[in-house]
Amino acid sequence: MPHGAFGRARAIWRFGGAPAKGRANRKIAGLPDMKRYLITSALPYINGIKHLGNLVGSQLPADLFARYQRGRGREVLFLCATDEHGTPAELAAAKAGKPVAEYCAEMHQVQADIARRFGLSFDHFGRSSSPQNHRMTQHFAKVLGENGLIEVVTEKQVYSKADGRFLPDRYIEGTCPNCGYDKARGDQCENCTKQLDPTDLIEPRSAISGSTDLEVRETKHLYLRQSLLRDELDKWIDSKTDWPVLTTSIAKKWLHDGDGLQDRGITRDLSWGIPAQFPGAPWQGMEGKVFYVWFDAPIEYISCAGEWAQARGAADAEWERWWRTDKGAEDVTYVQFMGKDNVPFHTLSFPATLIGSREPWKLVDHLKSFNYLNYDGGQFSTSQGRGVFMDQALAILPADYWRWWLLSHAPESSDSEFTWENFQQSVNKDLADVLGNFVSRVTKFCRSKFGEAVPEGGAWGERERALIDDLTARIRAYEDLMQAMEVRKSAQELRAIWVAGNEYLQSAAPWATFKEDPETAAAQVRLALNLIRLYAVLSAPFIPFTAERMLQAMGTQDDSWPDDVEQALQALAPGHAFTVPDVLFAKITDEQREEWQSRFSGQRD
């Protein structure tokens, strides 16, 4: 099983919900259990550190799924990369006063480090500016052109006299004609997600100089003839009966609303990017133009696998077995994770690239899309610096605090909102009171009465058998929910598993039993110590750093999945040494909450 450069990925779980009785045999709609999983999350833009809304919209739930599948013994290749081309990169570099190549190299390292500290277990975190992606993007462009799916189009484009250049769509800002948002970009409105052309904007201005002295001039660009593939795409999407409604509804809207799926420009007038004129290209006259970021960025998913193989010193066959159905990828399950604004490109444009190549590339099997996470009464926004960003979050609290809250409140069926009050409540009740308190009570009591080793003696009774039955049902339900990528429900079920242990401990009351029957108290504590190991295994996909601490405290590296719960609760035998860990989760005080809420109410520097 491959392990990522970001550390060993264990399988552990947690959450809580409705009683599990009758749920053990319930099959939840989702992916069938397979042996190999290719997992990608949407590529984060290079233009700065991402906020928590970006994190929960793609990378974090993808990591949850990858860790779960690894924990079940499946082979996983989890890929992501920085998206380094396009207007955002050039504008950010100019603002930083650095050459764009230097800026991108630095920010890639920054984002890779933050991802590592958040526990994102990528097998490879690549770069869309890599030599592999240059070659792969030009390869796809060449075969698409040869297949009649790319054409040279003369079009009208905005030219800025003040800047002395054509302005690609994201170099133009203005008011959205759909919702009135006054900072809409020339390709899409960030507020309402409507796709735009620069000429659609009201009162447009240059994002470089702010100049409104703009005019429309003719220029030439390459267009991907998506409209010729509409029927194939429509049939393919119809075959995905288990996709989220959010995903298919967005795709179908683009396919059928208005004039239907439109051909789309795939080049821009930029200096930084993958050249659109290259040896062997089936066209001429594209000098000085580069491929549009939304053409080359998804291709980086494939290129990233090549980067991964090269970093391992492996031959091409190593990555091709994941991506080419004629080289072994026919038994791979490919799952993508992304926010809803990225859905059109991943259900239409990228599949059109792969299908149109007429080559045996692996198409996505399941696309898990997310709505938006809003921030404390408004919106997270990278461009406006609103909300808590990943580096700021880690400066306040360890990653697992954030991972737990974000995943347990993932915006799946609708938008959700981060509030400091809700964050405080979830941390204090779920992490500190339920899980942390259980670990602390069990280990400290055992140390005081039996020493720092699993006690021997006594036997299980009806109470223990009932707990095993309940946990078995809950864990099987948890597995179904995880396989179906029901993130919030999985969290709820995990919390219920934690709660079951607390209820058992409260009912068994070994501190009272010990006074009259030390042997029975020993059996109860032995089971409770094994529950800590079990909770670490189940909780690792959500809170991997804490899960590792729990296993270390229990003196074990045994993270085997509990296929047999009764057997799992005997993994730590009598005499096995353990230590009492430090507090797993500190409660958030009202003073801390108020200070953080005030600190992050303004603009990010």
Residues making up the annotated binding site for Zn(2+) are 176, 179, 189, 192
Strands 366-370 and 332-339: parallel
Q: Tokens 């003369």 correspond to what residue?
A: 154
Full strand arrangement of the beta sheet holding 332-339: 124-127, 75-82, 36-41, 332-339, 366-370
Distance, in Å, from the CA atom of 196 to the CA atom of 243, rounded to the nearest integer, reads: 26
Distance, in Å, from the CA atom of 563 to the CA atom of 559, rounded to the nearest integer, reads: 12
Residue 9 Cα distances to 80, 432, 462, 540, angstroms = 16, 23, 36, 8
Half-sphere exposure of 14 (CA within 13 A, CB side): 29
Nearest to 255 by CA among 335, 188, 187, 352: 352
CB contact at 8 A, 101 and 272:
yes
Distance, in Å, from the CA atom of 50 to the CA atom of 300, rounded to the nearest integer, reads: 19
Distance, in Å, from the CA atom of 204 to the CA atom of 186, rounded to the nearest integer, reads: 9
The two tokens of residue 291 are: 């491929």
CB contact at 8 A, 497 and 539:
no
Distance, in Å, from the CA atom of 556 to the CA atom of 569, rounded to the nearest integer, reads: 14
**Binding site per annotation, positions for ATP:** 382
Nearest to 306 by CA among 49, 132, 542: 132
Other beta carbons within 10 angstroms of residue 593's beta carbon come to 17
Residue 2, SS3?
coil
Other beta carbons within 10 angstroms of residue 209's beta carbon come to 14
**Binding site per annotation, positions:** 176, 179, 189, 192, 382
Distance, in Å, from the CA atom of 56 to the CA atom of 370, rounded to the nearest integer, reads: 8
Distance, in Å, from the CA atom of 166 to the CA atom of 268, rounded to the nearest integer, reads: 9
Angle separating helix axes 462-483 and 487-508, nearest 10 degrees? 170
Nearest to 431 by CA among 10, 14, 12, 9: 14
